[in-house]
Structure 1
Amino acid sequence: MTSGWRRARDVGHLVWDPVRDELTPAAAQTRVLRLRSRVWLILQAALGAALAWWIARDLLGHPLPFFAPVTAMICLGMTYGDRVRRIAELTIGVAIGILTADIFVHVFGSGVWQILAVCVVAMALAVLAGAGQMLMMQAGIQGVIVTTLVAGEGEAFNRWLDAVVGGGVALGIAMLAPVRSTTERPRARATMVLGNLVEVLTDTAQALRNRDAERARAALGRARDLSTQLEALRDSTAEALAAARLAPLLSRDSRDDVQEVHALMNPLDLAIRNVRVLVRQAHLALLEDQPVPDRYTDLVTGLAEASAGILEQLEQRERLEDAQEDLVLLARDSTWSATGAGLSAEIIRGQVRSTVVDLLVLSGMSTADARRRVPPTRDQLGPDSADR
Structure 2
Amino acid sequence: MVDPVRLTLEQLRELRDDIAPQAARRSRASVRRRVDRWRDRIFFIVQCALAAGVAWALARYAVGHPQPFFAPVAAMVCLGFSFGQRLRRVAEVMVGVAVGVGVGDLFVTFFGTGVVQIVFVIALAMSLAVLLGAGTLMTTQAGVQAAIVTTLLPDPGAGFSRWLDAALGGVVALAAATIAPAAAIRRPRQQASAVLNELAAILVETADGLRTGDEDAVTDALRRARASESLLDDLRSAADEGVAVVRLSPFRRRHRGRVQEIADLVVPLDRAIRNIRVLVRRCAVSVWRDEKMPAEYPMLLERLADGTRLIAESLFEPHADVAAHRVLGELGRRTAVMPIPASLSGVVVLGQIRSTVVDLLELTGTTYDEARQLVPLRPDGLDEK
In the superposition, the TM-score normalised over structure 2's length comes to 0.87
1: CA distance between counterparts of 2:319 and 2:95? 45
The equivalences for 1:232-251 within 5 A come to 232-251=234-253
CA contact 1:62–1:155 (8 Å) conserved in 2: no
Task: Give the direction of change, closer, same or farther, for the CA distance of 1:111–1:317 in structure 2 (3 Å limit).
Answer: farther
SS of corresponding position for 1:352: helix
For residue 370 of structure 1, report the CA deviation from its aligned partner.
Answer: 0.5
Query: What per-residue deviation string (whole Å, max 9, x for no partner) do you get for residues 235-257 of structure 1?
Result: 2211221222111111513x223
Task: Give the direction of change, closer, same or farther, for the CA distance of 1:81–1:150 in structure 2 (3 Å limit).
Answer: closer
Aligned pair partner of 2:173 in 170, 175, 178: 170
SS of corresponding position for 1:364: coil
For residue 160 of structure 1, report the CA deviation from its aligned partner.
Answer: 1.9
2: CA distance between counterparts of 1:152 and 1:119? 17
2: CA distance between counterparts of 1:153 and 1:264? 55
Aligned pair partner of 1:201 in 203, 222, 243: 203
Further displaced range: 322-331 or 357-366:
322-331
**Unpaired segments ≥5 residues, structure 1:** 1-19, 380-388
CA contact 1:291–1:340 (8 Å) conserved in 2: no
For residue 329 of structure 1, report the CA deviation from its aligned partner.
Answer: 0.9
Query: What per-residue deviation string (whole Å, max 9, x for no partner) do you get for residues 31-63 of structure 1?
Result: 222222212111211121111112211111100
CA contact 1:95–1:139 (8 Å) conserved in 2: yes
CA contact 1:331–1:353 (8 Å) conserved in 2: yes
Partner of 2:375: 374
Partner of 2:186: 184
**Unpaired segments ≥5 residues, structure 2:** 1-22, 381-385
2: CA distance between counterparts of 1:24 and 1:300? 39
Partner of 1:37: 40
CA contact 1:332–1:375 (8 Å) conserved in 2: yes
Partner of 1:7: none
The equivalences for 1:69-148 within 5 A come to 69-148=72-151
Query: What per-residue deviation string (whole Å, max 9, x for no partner) do you get for residues 120-155 of structure 1?
Result: 121112112222123211210121111111356853
The equivalences for 1:212-361 within 5 A come to 212-253=214-255, 255-316=256-317, 320-338=321-339, 341-361=342-362
CA-based RMSD: 2.2
CA contact 1:67–1:162 (8 Å) conserved in 2: yes
Q: Which amino acid aligns with 1:68?
A: A
CA contact 2:79–2:86 (8 Å) conserved in 1: no
Task: Give the direction of change, closer, same or farther, for the CA distance of 1:102–1:299 in structure 2 (3 Å limit).
Answer: same
Task: Give the direction of change, closer, same or farther, for the CA distance of 1:101–1:302 in structure 2 (3 Å limit).
Answer: same
Task: Give the direction of change, closer, same or farther, for the CA distance of 1:150–1:280 in structure 2 (3 Å limit).
Answer: closer
For residue 270 of structure 1, report the CA deviation from its aligned partner.
Answer: 0.7
SS of corresponding position for 1:326: helix
Q: Which amino acid aligns with 2:137?
A: M
SS of corresponding position for 2:84: coil
2: CA distance between counterparts of 1:284 and 1:350? 16
SS of corresponding position for 2:158: coil
Task: Give the direction of change, closer, same or farther, for the CA distance of 1:316–1:24 in structure 2 (3 Å limit).
Answer: farther
Of Structure 1 and Structure 2, which has the larger fraction of its residues in helix? 2
For residue 101 of structure 1, report the CA deviation from its aligned partner.
Answer: 1.1
2: CA distance between counterparts of 1:183 and 1:97? 37
Further displaced range: 352-361 or 28-37:
28-37
1: CA distance between counterparts of 2:24 and 2:116? 45
Partner of 1:362: 363
Q: Which amino acid aligns with 2:299?
A: D
1: CA distance between counterparts of 2:287 and 2:349? 12
Q: Which amino acid aligns with 2:276?
A: V
CA contact 2:93–2:166 (8 Å) conserved in 1: no
CA contact 2:109–2:156 (8 Å) conserved in 1: no
| Equivalent pairs, count | 359
Q: Which amino acid aligns with 2:279?
A: L
1: CA distance between counterparts of 2:156 and 2:124? 24
For residue 28 of structure 1, report the CA deviation from its aligned partner.
Answer: 2.5
Q: Which amino acid aligns with 2:145?
A: Q
Q: Using the aligned pairs only, state the percent identity.
A: 44
For residue 319 of structure 1, report the CA deviation from its aligned partner.
Answer: 5.8
2: CA distance between counterparts of 1:21 and 1:319? 42
For residue 318 of structure 1, report the CA deviation from its aligned partner.
Answer: 5.5
CA contact 1:75–1:170 (8 Å) conserved in 2: yes
Task: Give the direction of change, closer, same or farther, for the CA distance of 1:180–1:122 in structure 2 (3 Å limit).
Answer: farther
CA contact 2:215–2:284 (8 Å) conserved in 1: yes
Further displaced range: 71-80 or 165-174:
165-174
